[in-house]
Amino acid sequence: MEYGDPTLIPGAAHRRPDHVTLCVPCSTVVREEERQLSLMALIGVQVDARAKLSSEAVRRDALQQLCIPTHELGVKRLTASTFLLHFATPKQSTAVLCLRGLAAGQTALRLMPWTHQVSASAAKLMYRARIETIAKLFNAPTFIEGIDNEHEIEQERDCLCLWVWTDNPDGLAKMVSLQVAEPLSFSDEYYWKMGEFDLPTSRSGPAEMLKYNVIIHLDRVLDYSPLPSSLSHESVHRGITGLPDDLYEEEWPVKHHFVWHYGVIDDRVVRCRVPVQERLSGRRGRSPSGEEMEIIDKFVVRETLGSQFARSYTYLTAQATRGGVLLAVHEDYYNMSYSEPKNNTLTAKLEATIAPISWWIMGVCGP
């Protein structure tokens, strides 16, 4: 295969593992952070989950209603309709909780206290074993270089952005289930029986765990591997005299950028929910802004289905109450050799790339 083939891009979503699980104990640092959050943080849940809200909009509207300095409130998105509001003091958090809600955008937020069980599910480890070695989490050496606080797009503000060095970007999972051990707890009856004896430090039953699902979005990869037919990047950029060649246009390091959507696992199809009111009124084939889409270009296909579908696609736009049809194929497996749109049908011929097989497919949309 030639250099730059989509199947060779390091870190491409289809090359990465879908899911890994990591279990960690509840350290003293984690307990202290949880204690601080329980005192000074609240959870805000949207009343209308269909309303589009950003963390910056929630913070702006909350500051306006509460009349507090800007540095005394931080807002982070936890899910598509859930936000974390972090205040400077426990007194502020308690006072806002008494309000029970805040207006935000075209909807409102219902407030409740933060606990370490937010966005978590219960799990148990039933076996305790003694081992001499431990297994590595990643298949290749990986370390974190640092946190990137520069946000280029809005959805990056709701994420913890990190730069990591790795020997194999394909080993970065799309999702991690982080299981954190619950601290040892004892009933009042146990304290009454034990008196002043020291509490045990080991568990006598199954380990209670809290599981948090964390999505890992791979935004970009900088590939410092030597380019083909060169021992190093310097040999590519210099001529016989050893001076830089200004006419050379090859990029090094090679930069790979990936399309991702907040809250959606990489390489998954983004599905837009159509409100029931629009279904009943017959408003189909429309963009999120409510306008009919007259042209579907490769950028729309890439944002909707993924970059692997942006090279071979065809479509029939919506008109009035008639719905539209979008037909796209994965470039690694199929080619679209012919397409014919008609009034209410879209016909195409598909050819497989891995076998000498072809067939016809037709999409039909009602009036």
pTM of the model: 0.56
In this structure, the dihedral spanned by the alpha carbons of residues 185, 189, 195 and 201, taken in order and rounded to 10 degrees, is -20
Residues ≥6 apart with Cβ < 8 Å to 313: 296, 298, 301, 326, 327, 328, 329, 336
Digit-by-digit pLDDT tens for the chain (367 residues) are 334 455 568 888 888 888 888 777 778 888 888 899 999 999 999 988 778 888 999 999 999 999 999 999 999 988 888 999 999 999 999 999 999 899 998 899 999 999 887 777 766 656 555 444 444 455 567 888 888 888 877 788 888 888 888 888 888 888 888 888 877 665 556 555 555 555 556 666 677 788 888 888 888 888 888 876 644 444 444 444 444 545 445 678 888 888 888 888 888 766 555 444 444 344 444 444 445 555 677 777 877 777 778 888 888 877 766 677 888 888 777 888 888 888 788 889 888 876 678 888 888 877 6
User: Can you give the pLDDT at residue 60?
Assistant: 93
pLDDT at residue number 87: 95
Which sign, positive or negative, has the C-alpha torsion 115, 117, 120, 124?
Answer: positive
Task: Give the CATH superfamily of 28-120.
Answer: RRM (RNA recognition motif) domain (3.30.70.330)
Q: What is the pLDDT of residue 67?
A: 92
Residue 7's pLDDT is what? 59
What is the per-residue pLDDT for 280? Answer: 37
Domain ranges of the chain: 28-120, 276-364
CA distance 220 to 259: 9
Q: What is the mean pLDDT of the chain?
A: 76
331: tokens are 């470039």
pLDDT for residue 102? 93
Report the alpha-carbon distance of residue 318 to residue 274 in Å, rounded: 15
